[in-house]
Amino acid sequence: MHSFTSIAVIIGILHSPTFKAQITSNENEVSVDKQFATDSLQIAELFRLALTESHSYEWLGDMCSNIGHRLSGSPQAAEAVEYSFDLMNDLNLDPWKQPVMVPVWKRGEKELAYFISDQGKKGELSILALGGSISTKDEGLLAPVVEVETWGDLEKLGEQGVKGKIVFFNEKMNPENLYTFHSYGHCVMHRWGGAVEAAKYGAVGVIVRSLNMRIDDYPHTGSMKYEEDITKIPAAAVSTKDAEELSELIKSGDKVSIMMRLMCETLEDTESYNVVGEIKGSENPDKVILVGGHLDSWDVGDGAHDDGAGVMQSLGVLELLKKLNYKPKNTLRVVFFMNEENGLRGAKAYSEFAESSNEVHIAAIESDRGGFTPRGFHVEGSESKLAKIAGWESILDKYGIHQVEKGGAGADIGPLKTDENVLIGFVPDSQRYFDHHHSANDTFDTVNKRELELGTASIASLVYLIDKYGL
C-alpha cells in the first residue's frame, strides 16, 4: 500500500508545473552556458587574429609616416581620404565618400613667444596657437600678463585688472581623478572659451596652460571659439613646463610681460569627405551597427592616438570579422568622420544622411581615446540595454574588459542618438593619453602594437555580441 502511494507521489511531482519549470530552467541554463561557450571560442579567435593577422597597426604606420597630420581642409586630409577609401576597397567593403564642407584654418609660420620682467629676467615660451585663433600683428603682441585659474578669478579682477593685458589661464588638470578625461572636461572650458571671457574685460590676448598632466615642453593645441559682438583676441596654449615657470615668476612679485607672435589665418570652407564602408547584413540589411572614429587631426605630430588609432581600429573590426568568416545579421558599417577637431561637420553630415535614410542604427561605437590598453566601454542608452551589455562582461573579463558603465560615447556619434538606440565609447586606459593629445608628441612611435590590436579585438567582440543577440 505504501509503495503505491510513493509511486503516486513521485508521478505527481514529475507532472507538477513547479518541477517542469525547474527542468526547463536548468535546460535553459545549460543552453545559455553552451551558447556562451561557443561565443567564448569565437571571441578568443578574434583576439588571436588581432594579435597575429590584424593590419590596424600597419595601416596606422603607413598613414602617419606617409601622410602625417591631417587638419580639415589641408592637402594631408585630402590624401588621407583617398588612402582610407583604398583600404576599404581592398577589403571589399564597397566604400563611398560622403561630401562635407569643412572649415579651413592655417597656423602659418611657427609661433614665437617670450616673457620679460621688470627685474630683467627673460625667457622663451613654448606655445601653439589655438585652433581658430586670429593672428597678432606681424611684429607680434607685447603686453603685461595677469594670471588666473577660474572664471571667478577673472571676474574678481574685472576690467580694471584685465584691460590691456594678456590673460594667463593656469588651472591644472586634477591628478586625483583616476579617469583623466574627467579632469580634462573640467579644464577644457578655458581653452574653448577663454578668449571670449577675457575679451569681455578688455584683455588683448590669452595664453592657456596645456591640458596635460605631465610637466614637459610640448604645448597642446585645440579648438577655441569667438562670439559675435565680442572683440576677437589671439589665443595660444603654453607648455606645462613654461606655465609652471611663468606662474612662479608672477607669484614672486615681478611685473611680467609677454610677447607673442601668431600668424594664423582662416580661409573659406572647402569640400572634404567622410569615408564609409560596410558589410551588408544577411537578415536585416537596413539595420546598422556603426563603428568609427575621426580621420582628421590637429596640424602637429602625426595624429596617431588622436585619432589615427581610432579609425584604424574601426576598420580593423570589419577586417577581423571577415577573417572569422562571420556573416552578420545586420549591416556592419565603418565610418571615418571628417572635421571632428574643429567643427564636427562630418558627424552632422552623416547624422543627416542617417535621418533621411530608411535605415535604423541599432548601435554606434566610437574609438577616440587613444590606442592604449582596453579597459571597457561607456554606454549611452536605457538601463535595460546597459544591463544587457554589462552582462557580457563574463565573456570579456578575461581580456581586461571590466568597465562597462554609463558615460559619454563620443562626439562624432553623438548626433545619432535616439530613444531606441545605444551609443558606445571604447575606453582604453587613460593615464598616458594627455601626454600626447593635440601635441607634436602625438606620433606613431608612441603607439604600442599589441595595445592597439587588443583594442581592435575588444571592439570587434562587442560588435559580434550586439549583432548576434541584439539590444
Contacts of residue 159, defined as CB under 8 A and 6 or more positions apart, other chains included, come to 201, 202
Cα distances (Å, whole numbers) of residue 196 to 81, 187, 238: 34, 15, 18
Specify the DSSP element, H or E, that contains 119.
none
Which listed residue (340, 341, 366, 380) is catalytic? 340
Cell triple for residue 310?
A: 581610432
**CB count, 10 Å around CB of 262?**
27
| Residues 303/309/312/317 CA torsion (nearest 10 deg) | -160
Q: For residues 302 and 441, give the distance between their C-alpha atoms in angstroms, rounded to a whole number.
A: 8
Cis peptide before 307 (omega within 30 of 0): yes
User: Edge-to-edge strands of the sheet including 403-406?
Assistant: 96-106, 265-279, 330-337, 284-294, 360-366, 422-428, 374-380, 403-406
Long-range contact set of residues 41-46: C-beta below 8 Å, sequence gap at least 24: 42/324, 42/326, 42/464, 43/395, 43/396, 43/399, 43/461, 43/464, 45/324, 46/320, 46/321, 46/324, 46/457, 46/460, 46/461, 46/464
Specify the DSSP element, H or E, that contains 392.
none
Cell triple for residue 211?
A: 591640458
Q: For residues 309 and 330, give the distance between their C-alpha atoms in angstroms, rounded to a whole number.
A: 25
Instruction: Say if residue 9 is exposed, middle or buried (CB neighbours under 10 Å; 0-12, 13-18, 19+).
Output: exposed
Q: Which residue, 234, 236, 237, 260, is CA-closest to 134? A: 234
Helix, strand, coil fractions of the chain, as percent rounded to 5? 40, 25, 35
Strand partners, 148: 169
Q: Is the CB of residue 180 less than 8 Å from the CB of residue 372?
A: no
Q: Catalytic annotation on 155?
A: no
Q: For residues 3 and 6, give the distance between their C-alpha atoms in angstroms, rounded to a whole number.
A: 5
One-letter amino acid at 273 equals: Y
Strand 112-117 relative to strand 122-124: parallel, antiparallel, unpaired? antiparallel
Q: For residues 279 and 285, give the distance between their C-alpha atoms in angstroms, rounded to a whole number.
A: 9
List, by residue number, the catalytic residues.
340
